[in-house]
A and B are shown apart, each in its own frame.
Chain A
Amino acid sequence: MRTVVVAGHGMVGHRLVEALIGRDLQRQWRIVVLAEEVRPAYDRVALSSYVDSWDADALTLPAVLDDRVELRLGDPCVRIDRRKRTVRTASGRRVVYDALVLATGSAPFVPPVPGHDLPGCYVYRTPEDLDAIRVAAQRAMQTTAAGRRSGVVVGGGLLGLEAAHALRQLGLSPHVVEIAPRLMPMQVDEGGGALLRRFVEGLGVRVYCGRATQAIEPDRGRMLVRLSDGTELDTDVVVFSAGVRPRDQLARDAGLSVGERGGVLVDAGCHTSDADIWAIGECAAVEGRCYGLVAPGYAMAEVVADRLLGGHATFPGADTSTKLKLLGIDVASFGDAHATAEGALEVIHNDPVAGRYAKLVVSDDARTLLGGVLVGDAEAYGTLRALVGAVLPADPGALISPSGGELDAGALPAGAQVCSCHAVTVETIGTAVRDGATTVPALKACTKAGTGCGSCVPMLKKLLAAQGVEQSKALCEHFTHSRAELFEVVAATRIRTFSELVAKHGTGRGCDICKPAVASILASLSGVLSPGSHILDGEQATLQDTNDHFLANLQRNGTYSVVPRVPGGEITPQKLIVLGEVARDFGLYTKITGGQRIDLFGARVEQLPAIWRRLVDAGFESGHAYGKALRTVKSCVGTDWCRYGVQDSVGMAIALELRYRGLRAPHKLKSAVSGCARECAEARSKDFGVIATENGWNLYVCGNGGFRPRHADLLVSDVDTETLVRTIDRFLMFYVRTADRLQRTAPWLEELEGGLDHLRDVIVHDSLGICAELDVAMAAHVAGYADEWRGVLEDPAKLARFTSFVNAPGVPDPTIEFVEERGQPTPAHRRPGQPVLIAGPTLTVVP
């Protein structure tokens, strides 16, 4: 086995490790990664989101777990000995390499103005930088009068605006100084820059374009920043985000060639001037040019992985197109955004009132699209970027006018790139569709398209449609509606029975797909439409899956399991004893669930009422383990007991579980509350998870464990209890209203157009104007809650259904048999040949 040493564990170095391990099927290489930072590779592109949670682990990229990879954190490569093919690390360790890959990235450029190294001056590159800025901001809060606390950002590019946003979130008034005449000079043109500036200033950011920073001086515990036009800015913090410079010192010291403007010089195969050494990412100058974006770095990593395995891949050149949302403002630029091609024409649509600027750069005959800039509304980005280099399907002016026709995805050329993060073309998508990937999730899985920034997901949908794949949303053969549409039909028409609904809006008599879905919709709306109703009332009972019909979970041998609610996982000794006694008396198998409660297995249908009579009398109620409904809100012990807890997580979990118990949803809902950032309740693996902070609560949504685990995303941070509960109310009701049948919150969010930002817009900023409705619906649910099992025990007609045989009500099902396993009864049929224990005499207790 040969050894490749990777110097640097940023996003690109990490990508190389992933790519090489993934492809090196013959196990030719072992990999030694020498990382400077003490944390493993993290998503630096998302660094600004660190300000929302202050949880650096949330940025961590998925680790490559493989015995061929050795990751040494905090021990960077400091010297290369090319003759001996050895590197030395900061700790003095020597590693012999067969191949060396430099992935040392870049360093922030700090202009050498006087005072640039004063305390209070920072760069914006790592979580540690942000931690330091946070501390400085907190100090300013204590020492500077309110209204005067401010921060100056030197550099008005993408990163500078992100830094300004961070300062604003930290309570400082941000000032941005940019030497160019407009903000984001690399990405946008003058017109786009002007609109961007108006947006940014509208958010309280002061902008100084066309001015240089001349000096920074200490000033009575604060600082004074002098600009080239004489402006003086009082400030508490200065953040430099004036671009980056490749970190090529290791290569220079080793005598490798470097580019004219810095960077390790490499050819299109990412080879340096030494055949055993490669360079990738921001430290590399590919044929003399450095790239400050992650996508070209990823492409270089793929090239080197291929070449290490004997391939001949070359760097395909980089698409520097970008689409981003800055301070809530859409900005996109693609192709030849600055019209540098000879004879290029610019077609501009500028509407400062609507806050929309769009420019297309086209060839001199106005037929071929070369590039463009979009500010304020970048929805057309996906299609337009894919069209770069192609003959335009319509008049360029029409393409960017607000009333412009939808672009036909079918008109895209085969080579057009749909997903620039993973370099996926129209052709690749077409092949995947023909091979059977006919949904967006399937395309994501087999082509990786849409799994990076996600901006091409709408485009994937259009391509599917263009290929003639009908994305049928019909629930089943009885309804052409999706679940969300049926929900709206029921809410609007106030139809309360399945028979009426299927007669008026469907065909046939329904099935095991639409009936439970409609039952769930009727139950979700019962608080509003039919207060006081029970899910087993009248015809509704016939719609229910067996679990809901018998309010218990059907198991493989035809028996049921029983799960009483244990809110927040807190239970008294007396109640624990009752559970034990019930299990013993009815011969039930007991197991602790993952949701901090106790599951009692092996109950026959006719035993359920007697079991529940005992449980209800002891103060238990239904735990809805059988329903597509709220299951549990798990908790850690929180401030009552834990030395580290910062909030009462148990109290919050109980309050949430009691608030949302019984809420019927498209799928089950799980939740948890952790009392501090250590996250012992595993809240981020839940549909909605709450983590305590010193200032309140952080709410995470749309996580799950299961078949495809997904960490929940931060929706709001540091909110008070009232805001937290209101936000969860709306989140749940919006999900209940709009999700597909059996679609959990994670895939729901992935399919939600606009994703997390849209979700936040809807339920925090009320962008659809539906929050009042959602609030009313949740209030009705909370007010209308009643224990379903108590409802059965009080109604002889419902109780009568719990019989084994209609003509022999007391006779147990003779096919149900148990054997003893580890001291408990378990179903017999799985272990043929062993003695069979027929349920004992204490089992036939029928009220």
Chain B
Amino acid sequence: MTAQLQRHWRVVCRYDDLVPERGVAALIDGVAVAVFRTHDGAVHALSNMDPFSGASVLSRGIVGDREGRPTVASPIYKQAFELATGVCLDDPGVVVATYPVRVVNGVVEVWSS
């Protein structure tokens, strides 16, 4: 791992602080990022901004799946976003940003570019 990479991984929280199938919001270099832990243990990070309402709320949506693909539903108008890609499954033209995320020694980190 290079020095440059290390500089861009930002600590979010301990993995054990993430509740399965629920999100948290983290402030990464001034930008709100929603971090989710799914049922199978995987971790995903998306922009926290709901593009339909302009409110910073995606971390507070309900996590589930559509045809097997893990999703979060915006708590405002309920559109579902695929956690892995950020694609809105109700309006595929709309995509929210996704962030690389990893767990190192029990700590969740998000890549900030």
Which of A511, A545, A807, A811 lies in contact with B12, CB distance below 8 A? A807
Binds B, one of A20-28, A103-111, A548-556: A548-556
Q: By the criterion CB–CB under 8 Å, are B62 and A477 in contact?
A: no
B93 on interface, CB distance cutoff 8 Å = no
Q: By the criterion CB–CB under 8 Å, are B22 and A541 in contact?
A: yes
Which of B13, B65, B73 lies in contact with A508, CB distance below 8 A? B65
Known: A510-B64, A545-B75, A546-B61. A806 touches B24 (CB 8 A): yes
A804 on interface, CB distance cutoff 8 Å = yes
Give the shortest distance, in Å, between A474 (CB) and chain B (any CB). 14
Q: Per-residue CB proximity of B85-111 to A under 8 Å, as 1/0?
A: 000000000000000000000000000
B76 on interface, CB distance cutoff 8 Å = yes
CA of A478 to CA of B22, assembled, Å:
18
Which of A512, A542, A544, A814 lies in contact with B30, CB distance below 8 A? A814
Contacts of A542 in B (CB 8 A): 19-22, 62-63
A705 on interface, CB distance cutoff 8 Å = no
Contacts of A516 in B (CB 8 A): 62
Q: By the criterion CB–CB under 8 Å, are B32 and A805 in contact?
A: yes
Nearest-CB residue, chain B, relative to A498 = B21
Q: Per-residue CB proximity of B50-86 to A under 8 Å, as 1/0?
A: 0001111100111111111011010110101000000
Q: By the criterion CB–CB under 8 Å, are A808 and B27 in contact?
A: yes
B39 on interface, CB distance cutoff 8 Å = yes
Q: Per-residue CB proximity of B8-32 to A under 8 Å, as 1/0?
A: 0011110001011110111110101
Which of A515, A543, A545, A813 lies in contact with B32, CB distance below 8 A? A813
Give the shortest distance, in Å, between B38 (CB) and chain A (any CB). 8
Q: By the criterion CB–CB under 8 Å, are A477 and B75 in contact?
A: no
Contacts of B11 in A (CB 8 A): 807
Q: By the criterion CB–CB under 8 Å, are A509 and B12 in contact?
A: no
Contacts of A515 in B (CB 8 A): 62, 64
Q: By the criterion CB–CB under 8 Å, are A558 and B12 in contact?
A: no
Which of A511, A557, A813 lies in contact with B71, CB distance below 8 A? A511
Contacts of B75 in A (CB 8 A): 545-546, 554
Q: By the criterion CB–CB under 8 Å, are A512 and B60 in contact?
A: no
CA of A109 to CA of B28, assembled, Å:
87
A422 on interface, CB distance cutoff 8 Å = no
Interface positions of B (Cβ within 8 A of A): 10-13, 17, 19-22, 24-28, 30, 32, 35, 38-39, 49, 53-57, 60-68, 70-71, 73, 75-76, 78, 80
Can you name 17 A-B pairs with beta carbons within 8 Å? A509-B63, A509-B65, A510-B65, A511-B62, A511-B73, A515-B62, A541-B19, A542-B20, A542-B62, A543-B62, A545-B62, A554-B57, A556-B76, A557-B54, A558-B55, A811-B27, A815-B56
Interface positions of A (Cβ within 8 A of B): 477-478, 508-512, 514-516, 539, 541-546, 549-550, 554, 556-558, 605, 803-808, 811, 813-816, 829
Known: A510-B65, A805-B26, A807-B12. 17 other contacts (CB 8 A): A508-B68, A509-B38, A511-B80, A541-B19, A541-B22, A542-B19, A543-B62, A554-B60, A556-B53, A556-B76, A557-B54, A805-B25, A806-B12, A807-B11, A807-B27, A811-B27, A815-B56
